Amino acid sequence: MLTFKSLDVVDTLKMAIQCEMDMESYYNKLASLIDNDDAIAILRGLAEKEEKQRLRLIRYYSRLSGKKILYLNLGKKHKLNTLVKCSDDPVEAVRMAKKNETEVRNYFQMVSRRLIENDLRKLFQELALETEHHLAILESSFVEPISFESSGIKSEAVYSDMVKSQKESVRTW
């Protein structure tokens, strides 16, 4: 668990932006390892969601700091050091994607509890909920034992599970 003595809002936003970049990169790499069209579509969709969150955070950062981020090349200070790099084994990589989403969600929740400013706290609460949604998509789309073979599963099954998960998440959130 991360501990902060004091929460610097700009550093916190930079770290959140880096988390989104890391997860987008992770999903794109994982999609390149898989030969199942359904799984690739799900992973590319998650990568797109990470990109949208990153752009949202950049806009918030620009409004708050008055600076633009042209690129983000941060040191270890701004990286969530509990995130695992994408393995070359797709099954293990999917398992680690679930772990990474959990770590990012925990970070966003911790930040939202520690921030005083209401708009920023709300932003991190929304990011935590969106990350929870990503985790639900992963859990429902890649059920243990994880297999990318389409022989035993109808091609629509992965999509129907994803749609079912999204409908359930709309009702609970």
- Burial track 21-58 (b if 16+ CB lie within 10 A, e otherwise): bbbbebbbbbbebbebebbbebbebbbebbbebbebbb
d(CA 20, CA 15): 9
pTM: 0.79
Q: Position 139: which residue type?
A: E
pLDDT (tens digit per residue) in 22-47: 999 999 999 999 999 999 999 999 99
pLDDT (tens digit per residue) in 159-172: 555 556 555 555 54
pLDDT (tens digit per residue) in 109-168: 999 999 888 999 999 999 999 999 999 999 999 988 888 775 444 444 555 555 565 555
Domain boundaries 9-172, corresponding CATH code: 1.20.1260.10
Helix H or strand E encompassing 111: helix 90-114
